[in-house]
Amino acid sequence: MPLLTLQVFATGAFGASSDEEQTVPRLDARMGYHGAIAHRMAFIEEQGEELSVGDIQFLIGETPEGVQRTDDRVMANGIDSGAVWLVADVINPTRDTITRRMSVRIGWLDRVDFYFMPAGEPPERFISGDSIPVHNRSFATRVPTAEYAFPSGMTRLFLRVETADPVVIPFYFSSLKAGHDQEQFDAAFYSFVYGVMFALAAYNLMLFTGLRRKRYLFYTIYMVSFILMTASYSGIGMVLIWPSAVVWQQWAPPLLMLVFAFSGITFATSFLEVKLRRRKLFRAIQVLCAVYFALFAACYYIGERGWALTLAFALVPVFTGLMLYLGVSSWMSGMKSARYYLFGTLASAIGASITALTVYGILPYSQIGFYAVDIGMVLDAMLLALALADLVKRTQQARIAAERKAQVDHLTGLENRRGFLPVAESLWNLVKRNNRDICVAMIDIDHFKMINDQYGHATGDRILRKIAKVLDSSRRQGDLLARWGGEEFVLLLPETDLPEACNVAERLRQNVEALTIREGADILQCTISVGVANRDSEEVSLDKTIVMADQALYQAKLEGRNLVCAGNASDASARAVPV
């Protein structure tokens, strides 16, 4: 007989009795018990050596004080603990058989054996657990399940659970219909979770294919690794995808937990541009990832699955903390899109913590507690997708602002040559199509070098700004004014013939001449020279008209400055004349 060290899992130990009927609690076969019912059963924990049904029967008979009770509906005993037996006597007071469905609703348990022993008969056994290929299990279900037709009288029910994973035993005893309804609910829930995840993963993969931005790829990997991780520990993977891959099923949960944590942190570092902003931290994260993978490989090599799981369970909070820290620090440093990221990470962290605490038995077991990680992750997936969209929006806005900035002259606030030309070209083409007049005036401040030399560059700048303002307020609405470069400006006058353009130019000249600028004790007055040219034939381009206006401006300078000269764009050899 193996030596047993018996432990109490929780408070409320059953008062031991030599009466076997009191030692083993009773279940009524007619009842459909609501929720998990470990508190309605007795339990015994194996210490080292494996026990048989005969050993357990012997123990119950000979040392009933060793049989324990718990107040908890779900037994939770942490990682790598010994095998646990649950025992109850199922009473069927009717003459007919009563069929009941029993299941342990956890997909990661290695080995689960159900034994049913009617009085005076040998036990009938049902085997399950993820160390057994699906087709070799008594019932090919996602979670360990048995259906049994309880005969009239008493049947002793034994349940043995053994695993290197966290020992959690939500044992359900229900009618076939209630069991079926629960499975339907689970299927609907996982369909919803996986549906959302797959849709977002596929969409972001498309974005990656089209845009070639790595962050979309990392998002996709993060989602897919979550799907695979939950598929591995929920048992869905084994039932639907790898029904015979027992070794893979044993190692998949810790491995996929690592992959999930790493893909999450990789997405975070890419999205929050940690490599650019925090180079040292980025290196440290890479080293940490490498160390974890090396430790996992070592666990695999020596066959310590419990250690690998402990490693994975220890890693997830570390990386979640790191992801939260990165989110907070990025938000603090002004990255607006980081707040969606932060809320998403917070949702998944809270969900994962609730599930972990539920699985460890620290929080009372509930459906919502058990599925909290999935609910949190769905929220996380949606908020991260929102964060990516927000980042795209902000990047676009920044690009448009930068493009606009590149088209504006920062000194005068007028358009510069880059801003002027595209608008001028389209106006030019429009006028040309309608065969209307259009003119160009080139404007240059006279003797500006002298002002710079005498009063300094800063005063020169101030005067440039003032003259630009005068020009801007003197132009007609619809005319396009820009700083062409240095102390030169250009004015495009659509729907304007040459004499009218010369009138406008003359008004500008007069307004600038009337401008007085105080510089210390001096009152400064500036003048401008203007060259005007018009489009006087079909073939004349904007460029050519600008050249002609420039020549007319040169003529104005030659004629003594503070003048408006007009030229003819189609006849560049003709001499521009003062107006």
Ligand X SMILES: Nc1nc2c(ncn2[C@@H]2O[C@H](COP(=O)(O)OP(=O)(O)OP(=O)(O)O)[C@@H](O)[C@H]2O)c(=O)[nH]1
Binding positions for ligand X, rule: CB under 6 A: 411, 444-449, 452, 457, 460-461, 464, 486-487, 557, 561
Q: How far is the CB of 559 from ligand X (least distance, A)?
A: 12
- Which amino acid, residue 525? Q
Secondary structure element (H or E) that encloses residue 166, with its range: strand 166-169
Residue 462 C-beta: closest distance to ligand X, Å: 8
Q: Which residues contact 37 (CB under 8 A, 6 or more apart)?
A: 27, 73, 171, 172, 173
Q: How far is the CB of 488 from ligand X (least distance, A)?
A: 8
From residue 216, alpha-carbon distances to 247, 267, 407, 539 in Å are: 32, 8, 32, 51
Least Å from the CB of residue 516 to ligand X: 18
- Closer CB to ligand X, 89 or 487, in the complex: 487
Q: How far apart are CB 331 and ligand X at their closest, in Å?
A: 40
Q: Which is nearer to ligand X, 354 or 463 (CB)?
A: 463
Angle at 523 (CA atoms; ends 522, 529), nearest 5 degrees: 125
φ/ψ of 530, rounded to 5, equals -130, 135
Q: Choose between 1 and 411: whose C-beta lies nearer to ligand X.
A: 411
Give the residue with the Cβ less far from ligand X, 112 or 445: 445
What is the nearest approach in angstroms of ligand X to the Cβ of residue 484? 11
Q: Pick the closer one to ligand X by CB: 461 or 571.
A: 461
Q: How far is the CB of 508 from ligand X (least distance, A)?
A: 16
**CB closer to ligand X out of 113 and 487:** 487
Round to the nearest angstrom and report the end-to-end CA distance of the chain: 123
- The distance of closest approach from Cβ of residue 423 to ligand X in the complex, given in angstroms and rounded to an integer, is 22
Q: Please, which residue, 526 or 579, has the CB nearer to ligand X? A: 526
- The least CB distance from residue 451 to ligand X, in Å, is 8
Q: Select from 105, 125, 106, 103 the least CA-distant residue to 114.
A: 125
Smallest separation, CB 472 to ligand X (Å): 16
Which CB atom, from 296 or from 448, has the smaller least distance to ligand X?
448
- Please, what is the minimum distance in Å from the beta carbon of residue 461 to ligand X? 5
| Cβ contacts of 451 within 8 Å, gap of 6 or more | 459, 460, 463, 524, 526
CB of 479 to ligand X, least distance (A): 23
- DSSP characters for 269-322? HHHTTHHHH-HHHHHHHHHHHHHHHHHHHHHHHHT-HHHHHHHHHHHHHHHHHH
- Write out the two tokens for 121: 């008969």
Task: Taking the CA atoms of 351, 354, 359 and 364 in sequence, report the sign of the dihedral they define.
Answer: negative
Token output for 320:
């979640």
**Contact in structure between 4 and 44 (CB atoms under 8 Å):** yes
CA 50 from centroid of its chain's CA atoms: 46
| Residue closer to ligand X, measured from CB, 48 or 486 | 486
If the CB atoms of residues 39 and 447 are measured against ligand X, the closer one turns out to be: 447
Closer residue to ligand X, CB minimum distance, 410 or 433: 410
Measured from the CB atom, is 264 or 460 closer to ligand X?
460
List 156's β-bridge partners, or say none. 89, 117
| Sequence-ordered list of residues with C-beta below 8 angstroms from that of 415, at least 6 positions apart, any chain | 407, 408, 409, 423, 480, 481, 482, 483
* C-alpha count within 13 angstroms, C-beta hemisphere, residue 356: 16
Long-range contacts, 222-225 (Cβ 8 Å, 24+): 222/260, 222/263, 222/264, 222/266, 222/267, 222/384, 223/197, 223/198, 223/381, 224/197, 225/256, 225/259, 225/260, 225/263
Q: Enumerate residues 6+ apart whose C-beta is below 8 A from 23.
A: 14, 16, 17, 42, 60, 64, 67
Q: Which residue is at the shortest CB distance from ligand X? A: 460
How many Å apart are CA 28 and CA 26, to the nearest integer? 7
